[in-house]
Structure 1
Amino acid sequence: MVIQATTRVESLSTSGIHQIPKEYIRPQEELRSITNIFDEEANKQKPQVPTVDLTDIESDDPEKRHKCLEELKKAAMEWGVMHVVNHGVSGDLIGRVKAAGEGFFGLPVEEKEKYGNDPDGGRTQGYGSKLANNASGQLEWEDYFFHLVFPEEKRDLTIWPTTPSDYTDATTEYAKQLRALATKILPALSLGLGLEEGRLEKEVGGIEELILQLKINYYPKCPQPELALGVEAHTDVSALTFILHNMVPGLQLFYDGQWVSAQCVPDSIILHIGDALEILSNGEYKSILHRGLVNKEKVRISWAVFCEPPKEKIVLKPLPETVSEAEPPLFPPRTFRQHMEHKLFRKNKDEVMQN
């Protein structure tokens, strides 16, 4: 059954409108910080998101491995986001994943609607656009395709696109390789906290329970980009998030009291530390506030894979080793589901108070 719950942003973008509907216009205090993304990306005066080379993350040479782990730890503590290069995921596979996503979003809207989701009805996977689930009624300038990609036995292939034909094969292999990459990064981050290597992975669900969800974000051209956001400011609830994009800038991070635009780094994957690791590390690792800008010249597409702990089976709280009299716990114990509900409640409450 196809649910057409809202106007697709792509349809608005291609309709020839010169002004965006009021539901997409951000509040006045937010508008002051929205700038031209191409000017921002060219501005080298602002801080730059770090780039971390993962070549030696599992090196047999202790000195080389230590240097790599220290760079990863520094980026996770200072920024909570980084470009990772030499990550082990082949350029050919990344090209296939991008081509598959671009191919799906290149289909007519009515074809994509066959995969339409129904968040209000509990069916979150599929093709969608943000519904107004807050007091302000604000919408984001994006359409998306969202579904679980790993473990394979938990997937629902009936909602995966059959066009392009390579979508399932490319996405399946990419998910496997990202899961393997997470199993390199989590031990390194464990060591950075003075823990045994396997600790963080175990605390977010291990091989059996950690799930990977893919969200392909499609940001159409916007006639008034200075008034809208592709994705509003948020932190990721995940343990880790891996992001690819089509080399059109748009990602901004709130760092050192200002919005900083991420550069487009060829052959990199953007790695975010999510809330789950920030909680477990008692704030040592940062889950950075970030948002997406849009523009009137180019379509932007990003592929975000969220590595998430199971919703109920694990209680997220600062690990005992990260807590002391001088460093008391910064976060109360919550399941992953409770953490997500807490963030949604707090966000809605804040918006009610602002209006």
Structure 2
Amino acid sequence: MDDERNHNTSPSSFPYLSKQLARSTLEGSADVPVVDLSVSDEELLVHELTKASQEWGVFQVVNQGIPTELMQQLQVVGKQFFDLPEAEKEAMAKGEDFEGYRRNYLEGIEAWDEHLFHRLSPPSIVNYEYWPKNPPQYREVNEEYTRHMKKLTEKILGWLSDGLGLPSVALLQSLGGETAEYLIRINYYPPSPKPELALGGAAHTDIGAITLLIPNEVPGLQVFKDEQWLGVNYINSALVVFIGDQLMRISNGRYKNVLHRPTLDKERLRISWPFFAAPRDDMSVGPLPELTGDENPPKFQTIVYKDYLKETMKNWALDKLYSL
């Protein structure tokens, strides 16, 4: 079996990659594929999503059915939380788990952020202790957003399943179906007087299966492709979709994850809202049998997701590069 580090998926390889790439210069803007989900030609839609997932590991979706007003409300209540006094935010500080509020300074590279992270679904894993009570609309807005985003995520996974020649439910089922886990993180990146010398976070790929992100209008999201960092253009009301480690593993490498990083702006505040879909903790994740065979052996080991998560976070923490 191939060494997973050759496929940029080994947890132990991430800190090395982050160190090597952390101070690479930006070469230009990325023509990240943009897919209109309202098109009537579903065969064309599947082709575009599949091609983007194979060649880029990232794409933007427009006309995706998420109400624009709801996306705006999500951004309003998120920013209102970070505008609170520090003591009120610190009351929701992280404990032993990754949920909650934290201010980060990442040693070894000049990078910092504030963030709030908590689980959204299924109900059995939700801990409202980490959901802000101020602003009072926060819970209502986030629960409504979750309902819409779960449906959208399931649609995208269905189309990507079709692109692999599998039943439409295949990828969702490989994450646990109705028990698949959904989480949100609000990233708050304050202005930096020397943004060229700082990052909002270390270069990384997403640990879970797929991420759908709302950025604000301030540019700063970068992806690594063709040996260079490229800035992702902002499109109003678009969502940026990242293929994560687990979707690459499940597809036996046919879909690729993507190395990406946030940067800071000199004068303006950057905020982003990534929505993560991940396998249930006790799910064994590896290449689907339908995608392997004598001529196409498994490229990745099958491993219980919570063990993969634990090992990855341990290596990140040891290198002091990135904190979830």
**C-alpha contact (below 8 Å) 2:132/2:138 kept by paired residues:** yes
1:15-164 paired onto structure 2 within 5 Å: 30=21, 32-35=23-26, 43=28, 47-56=30-39, 59=40, 64-118=41-95, 122-130=96-104, 138=109, 140-164=111-135
Given the two structures, how large is their TM-score scaled by the length of structure 2? 0.87
**C-alpha contact (below 8 Å) 1:31/1:226 kept by paired residues:** no
Paired residue secondary structure (1:232): coil
Say whether 1:184 aligns with 2:175: no
Shift of 1:151: 1.8
Q: Which residues of structure 1 form unaligned runs of 5+?
A: 1-26
Shift of 1:199: 0.9
Which has the higher mean CA deviation after the structures are superposed, 260-269 or 221-230?
221-230
**C-alpha contact (below 8 Å) 1:279/1:331 kept by paired residues:** yes
Which residue of the partner structure matches residue 8 of structure 2? none
Shift of 1:158: 2.7
Report the CA distance shift for 1:349/1:169 in structure 2 as closer, same or farther (over 3 A): closer
Distance (Å, rounded) in 2 between the aligned partners of 1:293 and 1:303: 15
Say whether 1:307 aligns with 2:277: yes
List, as ranges, runs of 4+ consecutive aligned residues in structure 1 with deviation greater than 6 Å: 348-352
Distance (Å, rounded) in 2 between the aligned partners of 1:31 and 1:345: 19
Distance (Å, rounded) in 2 between the aligned partners of 1:97 and 1:231: 22
Which residue of the partner structure matches residue 13 of structure 1? none
**C-alpha contact (below 8 Å) 1:148/1:154 kept by paired residues:** yes
Shift of 1:322: 1.6
Report the CA distance shift for 1:222/1:257 in structure 2 as closer, same or farther (over 3 A): same
Paired residue secondary structure (1:301): strand
Say whether 1:197 aligns with 2:180: no
Shift of 1:32: 4.5
Residue identity in the other structure for 1:173: E
Paired residue secondary structure (1:98): helix
1:267-286 paired onto structure 2 within 5 Å: 267-286=237-256
**C-alpha contact (below 8 Å) 1:141/1:294 kept by paired residues:** no
Q: Which residues of structure 2 form unaligned runs of 5+?
A: 1-17
- Which structure has the highest strand share of the two? 2
Residue identity in the other structure for 1:48: D
Say whether 1:242 aligns with 2:212: yes
Shift of 1:34: 3.9
Distance (Å, rounded) in 1 between the aligned partners of 2:129 and 2:312: 31
Shift of 1:50: 0.7
Identity %: 37
Shift of 1:138: 5.0
The partner residue of 1:327 within 282, 291, 296 is 296
- The total of aligned residue pairs comes to 304
Any idea what the Cα deviations from partners look like across 1:71-107, whole Å, max 9, x if unmatched? 1111111111111011110001001000000111111
Report the CA distance shift for 1:250/1:47 in structure 2 as closer, same or farther (over 3 A): closer
Shift of 1:113: 1.3
**C-alpha contact (below 8 Å) 1:80/1:272 kept by paired residues:** yes
Rg larger in structure: 1
Distance (Å, rounded) in 2 between the aligned partners of 1:29 and 1:238: 23
Residue identity in the other structure for 1:210: A
Distance (Å, rounded) in 1 between the aligned partners of 2:291 and 2:19: 40
Report the CA distance shift for 1:30/1:241 in structure 2 as closer, same or farther (over 3 A): closer
Residue identity in the other structure for 2:54: M
Say whether 1:292 aligns with 2:262: yes
Which residue of the partner structure matches residue 216 of structure 1? 186
Distance (Å, rounded) in 1 between the aligned partners of 2:56 and 2:195: 26
Distance (Å, rounded) in 2 between the aligned partners of 1:351 and 1:219: 18
1:245-256 paired onto structure 2 within 5 Å: 245-256=215-226
Distance (Å, rounded) in 1 between the aligned partners of 2:139 and 2:252: 38
Report the CA distance shift for 1:32/1:198 in structure 2 as closer, same or farther (over 3 A): closer
Residue identity in the other structure for 1:167: Y
**C-alpha contact (below 8 Å) 1:213/1:305 kept by paired residues:** yes
Shift of 1:148: 0.6
**C-alpha contact (below 8 Å) 1:112/1:127 kept by paired residues:** yes
Paired residue secondary structure (1:325): coil
Given the two structures, how large is their TM-score scaled by the length of structure 1? 0.80
Shift of 1:224: 2.2
**C-alpha contact (below 8 Å) 1:34/1:227 kept by paired residues:** no
Report the CA distance shift for 1:348/1:152 in structure 2 as closer, same or farther (over 3 A): closer
Shift of 1:131: 6.7
Any idea what the Cα deviations from partners look like across 1:200-252, whole Å, max 9, x if unmatched? 11011101x11111100000111222222101111001111110111111111
Residue identity in the other structure for 2:56: W
Which residue of the partner structure matches residue 230 of structure 1? 200
**C-alpha contact (below 8 Å) 2:211/2:244 kept by paired residues:** yes
Distance (Å, rounded) in 2 between the aligned partners of 1:346 and 1:73: 31
The partner residue of 1:338 within 280, 295, 307 is 307
